[in-house]
Amino acid sequence: TVHTRDQIELPPPAIDNRLTVHPLWPEIDRISTEQIQAAFEGVGGEIGWQLFAEEGDMRMYRREVEVDGMVMDPLKAMHKVRGVSAREMCHYFFNPRYRYEWETTLEQMTIVEEISSDALVFHQTFKRIWPASQRDALFWSHVRASSENTFAVTNHSTTNTEYPANSSACIRLFVTVCLACRSTYPAGEQPTRDNITTSIAYCSTVNPGGWAPAGVLRAVYKREYPKFLKRFTGYVVDQCKDKPLAI
Ligand code: 18C
């Protein structure tokens, strides 16, 4: 078979060997496993999850959590998208080539380390929100095939001596994000763009890293998360529509 450049870079079906010999591997494996499992657990059984945004198949829940007066509300979002696979969703979320096209909070992205085909370390600066200081983040990002028709990307803050925290005008924030996707199609049929549906679970916890006014922060949160998930999923549908389905 002929592979286009795009197909070659799709998330691999198994963990890249280069990742399993990297010093970050035990942490990446543990946190990814935990995050993927938690992503697929519903919000129904747990207390404290409140629905704050709903549009079509998209539902967003948050839990109000403050630690020493700092807002760290965990977010959990559910969505269903037709016509794209879990693997395609994760490809566009993981691959830095597309990030500026869908990530609207981003000011600058730098690839700090290429660990393997399925793991990268990023430094990102975000747009400044008045009256707070600008934020940056340093995090590893790992994409993996999980169970049947399931792929996930996990992002988690890390450290690097060449990118020390709070050394510039930026305050370092800390993030744990998981985008977990599972595709379904009718039993006995071959998957196509017309019969495939992907369920998405997106979980995010952002520790702002330093003082930020709670009211402003919660308002940003409420506006930016729905905007992100709608824009990102719309972007993937649009990118995929004239390409062969990649399962
Ligand atoms: O998951 C997402 N993106 C990934 C790839 O970039 C990656 C990124 C994670 C970082 C998320 C933190 C973003 C903070 C942005 C702060 C500035 C926003 C400015 C916007 C103004 C136009 O995993 C998608 C991420 C979608 C992010 C939605 C916004 C979440 C806001 C959370 C509060 C952040 C606190 C920062 C302090 C701000 C002071 C008021």
**DSSP label at residue 15:** -
Whether the CB of 220 sits within 6 Å of ligand 1? yes
pLDDT confidence of residue 48: 80
- Taking the centre of ligand 1 as the mean of its atom positions, its distance from the CA of residue 231, in whole angstroms, is 14
SS3 category, 60: strand
pLDDT confidence of residue 211: 85
Read off the tokens for 228: 């992100």
- Give the contacts of 125 (CB within 8 A, at least 6 positions apart): 106, 107, 108, 134, 135, 136, 170
Bridge partner residues of 173 (DSSP): none
SS3 category, 25: helix
Q: Is the peptide bond before 26 cis (omega within 30 degrees of 0)?
A: no
Q: How far is the C-alpha of 18 from the C-alpha of 37, rounded, in Å?
A: 24
pLDDT confidence of residue 7: 53
- Kindly report the pTM of this predicted structure: 0.95
In this prediction, the residues of the chain whose per-residue pLDDT falls under 70 are 1-8, 43-46
What residue segments make up the domains of the chain, in order of their start? 5-240
Q: For residue 101, how many other CB atoms are within 10 A of its CB?
A: 13
pLDDT confidence of residue 41: 86
Whether the CB of 140 sits within 6 Å of ligand 1? no
For a mutational test of ligand 1's pocket, the pick from 126, 157, 207, 211, i.e. the residue with the most ligand atoms closer than 8 A to its C-beta, is: 126
Whether the CB of 137 sits within 6 Å of ligand 1? yes
Q: How far is CA 173 from the centre of its chain?
A: 16
CATH 3.30.530.20 correct for 5-240: yes
Whether the CB of 221 sits within 6 Å of ligand 1? yes
Q: How far is the C-alpha of 191 from the C-alpha of 230, rounded, in Å?
A: 24
Each residue's pLDDT tens digit, 152-207: 999 999 999 999 999 988 999 999 999 999 999 999 999 999 999 999 999 999 99
Give the residue among 135, 104, 138, 155 at the shortest CA–CA distance from 217: 135
Whether the CB of 126 sits within 6 Å of ligand 1? yes
Establish how many alpha carbons lie within 13 A of residue 158's alpha carbon, considering only the half-sphere containing its beta carbon. Answer: 23
- Give the contacts of 161 (CB within 8 A, at least 6 positions apart): none
For a mutational test of ligand 1's pocket, the pick from 204, 217, 235, i.e. the residue with the most ligand atoms closer than 8 A to its C-beta, is: 204
Q: DSSP characters for 80-133?
A: EEES--HHHHHHHHH-GGGHHHH-TTEEEEEEEEEEETTEEEEEEEE---TTSP
pLDDT confidence of residue 42: 74
SS3 category, 151: strand
Q: How far is the C-alpha of 166 from the C-alpha of 168, rounded, in Å?
A: 6
- Taking the centre of ligand 1 as the mean of its atom positions, its distance from the CA of residue 111, in whole angstroms, is 18
ipTM score here? Answer: 0.95
Burial bucket for residue 131 (CB in 10 Å: 0-12, 13-18, 19+): exposed
For a mutational test of ligand 1's pocket, the pick from 70, 75, 105, 158, i.e. the residue with the most ligand atoms closer than 8 A to its C-beta, is: 105
Whether the CB of 145 sits within 6 Å of ligand 1? no
Give the residue among 179, 146, 151 at the shortest CA–CA distance from 77: 179
Whether the CB of 122 sits within 6 Å of ligand 1? no
Whether the CB of 224 sits within 6 Å of ligand 1? yes
pLDDT confidence of residue 174: 98
pLDDT confidence of residue 130: 87
Q: How far is the C-alpha of 147 from the C-alpha of 184, rounded, in Å?
A: 12
